Structure 1
Amino acid sequence: MSFRFIGRIACSLLFISLSQLAWTQSLPAGRWTSLFNGKSLAGWDMYLRQPEGTNQPPYGLNNDPLHVFTVADGAIRASGQLWGGISTWHEYDNYHLRLDVRWGTKKWYPSDSTRRDAGLLYHATGPYSFAYNCWLRSSELQIQEGEIGDFFGVGAGSAEFPMQPVTVRGKVLDQYAFDAPLRRNADAVGSGRVYRSGNFERPHGQWNTVELITRGADAVYIINGYVVNRLFNTYRPAIHQQTTRGKIQLQSEGAEVYYRQIQLRPISYASPQSLSLSADKTTLTDLIPDKPQTVRITNRGDAVELVAVELSGPAGDQFRVKLPPFPRRLKRGETLDLLVMLLSDTPGKSVTATLRLETVLGPVPDLTVTLQSR
């Protein structure tokens, strides 16, 4: 399903088929603004709860005697020793956020025997101790080893996802799938999880680029240039309102993690544009490891800014694309060559995926390329 935007986004969303998608394109988007200066925590507040397994009172707001949040080598270091968060002074709406994330080595009780965990909380509002005595009411872009890009509800309301059931470690859960039926997830703190479409993370110790695009009550999650989750119409029934605005909060949650290059730009909307991109091939067949193939994208309409690709389908993360630096503006008549490869193959088993291109306002309509292994 997809959507029609009017002005700065009406309070309710109209879902229509992809072939009928109406577009507005913002060119250029707003300028990037750094939310972190790389030297100090100016512009941020921190909130910490008590040490795990104790009955001590919370450390509270801007009281950090254990130096859980510090600046190291141009990045915000969250030690993970205490659960808590560091949040922006200001609230934001309709934006494109990007930051780099890298894991450290330390892990703390009770997360010392589990996957390293943290998170990007957005549309975050008070109180500071709302969730688990240390986080703002918010929606979460999960930052966890092997699962960056999952959605969690942290009290900001439920949302509608194109999602389907999937079995993860023996449990049947929901997973984002571009062409799945649109359904609303649960509205509960620590629940309503929706798994990302695939794993596009880099190996432990390397930086991962995490991006979040918010458009009114909608959001898109992008990991290392790949769309991995998409949600619509976040709604808080308790106050009968959509969730569209709030602070940005970064978690400390039992594992050492670093955040750097935290930048944000506003998304604005202009008059409708003629958006027309085409591919020289609609299908790439017989893809095998170490023998990539190229698909050429040509812009036959007005200039467009591309921000990511999406590889959808159960085998989407078994393929990779050699990505250009995003955002990438493609003028009328210009072309973009994308090199597509299969990571690995299984003898006698063919896998497929679908490639799409993403703008800040959603996927490019009427442009799909089917990928198929031998």
Structure 2
Amino acid sequence: MKTILKPTLLATAVILLCITLTSWNSNPPKADTWEHLLDLELSNWDAFVGAPHHTVAIEGYEKGNGMDEGTPLGLNNDPLNVFTTVELDGEPVLKVSGEIYGAVTSKKEYENYHLSLMFKWGEKKYEPRLDKPMDSGVLYHAIGEEGAFWNCWMQSQEFQIQEEDCGDYYTIAGTGADIRAIKKENPNSDWDIFIYNPNSDYKQFKTGEDGRCRKSENYGKLEGWNQIDLVCLGDKAYHIVNGKVVLVMENSVTYNENDVAKPLTKGKIQLQSEGAEIYYKDIKIRSVTALPTEFAKQL
């Protein structure tokens, strides 16, 4: 005997099936199950290349200071191979030339996660940072349009990766957070220096005001591979360098055009190109509900 669904029942069944499939596709990986994000095809990432510095040998694009002037090359348009992959010792490695500012951007958004990766510095540097420390960064909770900041990066929070400054926090394009920090006078600048200290009072950091908090101590290595861990739980984020918790930020927010704050607890992940050659490998992520024990015992 055939069973014939009435139109209303059929529509309901289709809706339930769609909800089920959507729920299944959006479920995060199980806790302690790592999802590897890097392969030789960069299949989990898009590449956004910013505007070239006037010293870059490329034609057909308006050049400028390498930051907020000129015309970005845009999404997945990378004729100079700023972002490429190589295979080393049987595993994929992301090579970032640094020649033009930009980023690879995860195709997915993430929240409540533990991101783990390794990086090491290359040898080359480019304008506009030829005379400055080698620089890159992990941008997290990235939202909105590509190139929102300096024609290069999305609105986001930054885990700084830079010589001597690995683990610092920066606000990017209208974000903010609260961090326990001590103030240090800076006679060489109009900007005060703030340093993470878990025993200090909270200080609010915000784009356009005090937008940077330095890590507690420097654990970054100039030679060889460095281990980076970023743990995001709700509105908190933990910056961890070579196994050491160097900064904790709370109350992660984004500000709208009326300067009204809204919680910022999820988004895409970006790995920056910022004037220096750098290599990334073993990029992986897992869902978490608590700070892993090896980090929690440090706090």
Q: How many residues align?
A: 248
Distance 2:143 2:75 in 1: 14
* Higher strand fraction (1 or 2): 1
Residue in 2 that maps onto 1:227: 245
Distance 1:167 1:250 in 2: 31
Q: Which runs of 5+ in 2 are unaligned?
A: 1-29, 55-62, 65-69
Matched, 1:264 2:278: no
Residue in 2 that maps onto 1:107: 125
Matched, 1:306 2:296: no
Decide whether the 8 Å contact of 2:156 with 2:172 is kept in 1: yes
More displaced stretch, 99-108 vs 230-239? 230-239
SS at 2:211's partner residue? strand
Residues 166/186 of structure 1: CA separation in 2 closer, same or farther (3 Å cut): same
Matched, 1:52 2:53: yes
Give the superposition deviation at 1:126: 2.1
Aligned residue identity for 1:245: K
More displaced stretch, 221-230 vs 45-54? 45-54
Aligned residue identity for 2:50: R
Give the superposition deviation at 1:180: 0.3
Give the superposition deviation at 1:100: 0.3
Give the superposition deviation at 1:260: 0.6
> How is 1:26-41 mapped onto 2 (pairs within 5 angstroms)?
29-37=31-39, 39-41=40-42
Residue in 2 that maps onto 1:197: 216
Of residues 206, 209, 225 in structure 1, which corresponds to 2:227?
Answer: 209
Give the superposition deviation at 1:155: 2.5
Task: Give a deviation string over 1:279-332, Cα, whole Å, max 9, x none.
Answer: xxxxxxxxxxxxxxxxxxxxxxxxx952337xxxxxxxxxxxxxxxxxxxxxxx
Residue in 1 that maps onto 2:85: 71
Distance 1:50 1:184 in 2: 32
Residue in 1 that maps onto 2:145: 127
Matched, 1:188 2:222: no
Distance 2:149 2:128 in 1: 17
Residues 176/107 of structure 1: CA separation in 2 closer, same or farther (3 Å cut): same
Decide whether the 8 Å contact of 2:174 with 2:255 is kept in 1: no
Give the superposition deviation at 1:137: 0.7
Residues 90/305 of structure 1: CA separation in 2 closer, same or farther (3 Å cut): closer
Decide whether the 8 Å contact of 1:124 with 1:156 is kept in 2: no
SS at 1:308's partner residue? helix
> How is 1:260-299 mapped onto 2 (pairs within 5 angstroms)?
260-268=281-289
Distance 1:35 1:148 in 2: 22
> How is 1:91-106 mapped onto 2 (pairs within 5 angstroms)?
91-106=109-124
Q: Which runs of 5+ in 1 are unaligned?
A: 1-27, 270-303, 310-356, 364-374
Distance 1:104 1:87 in 2: 21
Decide whether the 8 Å contact of 1:157 with 1:188 is kept in 2: no
Give the superposition deviation at 1:168: 6.1
Aligned residue identity for 1:192: G
Query: TM-score with structure 1 length normalisation?
Result: 0.63
Identity of aligned residues (%): 34
Give the superposition deviation at 1:58: 1.5
Task: Give a deviation string over 1:215-266, Cα, whole Å, max 9, x none.
Answer: 1111010000000001100122425410000000000000000111001110
Residues 305/248 of structure 1: CA separation in 2 closer, same or farther (3 Å cut): closer
Aligned residue identity for 2:201: P
If asked which structure has higher relative contact order (CA below 8 Å, sep 6+), I would say 2
Give the superposition deviation at 1:169: 8.0
How much is the aligned-residue C-alpha RMSD, in angstroms? 2.0
Of residues 275, 279, 292 in structure 2, which corresponds to 1:254?
Answer: 275
Residue in 1 that maps onto 2:5: none
* Higher helix fraction (1 or 2): 2
